[in-house]
Amino acid sequence: MTAHAPRVAVVGAAGWAGSRHARAFAAAGAKVSILAEKDERGLALAQELGAQLVPSTADLHPEHLDLVVVALPTTMQPVICADLLNRGFRVLTEKPVAADAEGAAVLAAASGCTGDSWLGIRSTTIPPPHWSLNGSGTRT
């Protein structure tokens, strides 16, 4: 654990999933410092969180961040995640990490792909809002 609040960048923060990640990390006490967007769609969120808006992941530097969250369409994620891993970032991916075996191979070949470097989440594991849990933790 670091002595400071974790420093997080979110790639794709203007989208539904990315904006939820950015707000959740901020609410948990992380410093959401950078949002990477190709246009200014993330400007309002950047202002809300006190984050810098940058146009590309090329503007990210591993010494300034503890984690990069990638919340992009599944077909775009493998190349971006592999680049970030190769550059020394810890990466959290949204959705399935790849859309197909070729995308998965791109990730598997990343030099930074180790057990503690990346984690994929499949968004379908999050219960839909209409589900409720009873006292025993089972879905009702």
Contact 53, 46 (CB under 8 A): yes
**CA atoms within 13 Å, Cβ hemisphere of 27:** 6
Q: Round to whole Å and give the CA distance between 103 and 76.
A: 9
CA quadruple 44, 50, 13, 79: dihedral sign: positive
Q: Where are the beta strands (DSSP E) in the chain?
A: 7-11, 31-36, 52-54, 67-70, 91-93, 118-120
Q: Round to whole Å and give the CA distance between 17 and 113.
A: 23
Tens of pLDDT, residues 25-83: 999 999 999 999 888 889 999 999 999 999 999 999 999 999 999 999 999 999 999 99
Tokens 């970032």 belong to 89
Tens of pLDDT, residues 77-109: 999 999 999 999 999 987 788 889 999 889 888
Name residues whose C-beta falls within 8 Å of residue 128's C-beta, 6 or more positions apart in sequence: none
